[in-house]
Amino acid sequence: MNKKRLCSFYIDDIHLITKLLPYINERINESTEIVTVLESDISKSVKKVIAGIQGRKSENLLKIDWSNKKVTDLYKMDIQNKLILINGTDEFMKEANKIISNRSENCEILNCYEIMQGGSKLQEILDNHDKVVETSGEKYPEEVFTGYTQKVTVS
């Protein structure tokens, strides 16, 4: 069982979409399926952002379900070898991650934190993720956050 844990930080829905679209498009081009677990429906914002994108790129991005879901929907979702984009309140995201962690499938988890929600817990969030997703792709936390040092836990 292998679960890669990614995180990203954003200001509002438009910023989230704008920031993630290049990364998501790249992953789609690699034939990665994207599954969303969103507490709020952001489909209108997605359509607004990609209205100016031409051709196949926009078609593939619009095929992703950007509507809201219940955390319990994860129990019946096929997540094997997929990228799962999670966004919502801290409680919503914790519950979604707990459900995924208890499953045996290989997958990638991309937790998206609204900066005002996650800013005070930045160290903890970074310590619990392998990489940070930026517009330019996946980066190690220390590449994005100057001065970050992962806390080492002693068993």
- Structural domains in the chain? 3-144 (3.40.50)
Residue 118 banded pLDDT, cuts 50, 70, 90? low
* pLDDT the model gives residue 110: 98
pLDDT at 115 over 80: yes
- Residue 48 structure tokens: 């607004």
Smallest Cα–Cα separation from 17: which of 45, 37, 40?
A: 45
For the whole model, what pTM was predicted? 0.90
Q: Distance (Å, rounded) from C-alpha 37 to C-alpha 78?
A: 12
| pLDDT single digits (tens) 142-154 | 999 988 887 765 5
Report the DSSP beta bridge partners of residue 85.
36, 110
At residue 92's C-alpha, the angle toward residues 47 and 127, to 5°, is 100
Smallest Cα–Cα separation from 24: which of 1, 50, 3, 2?
A: 50
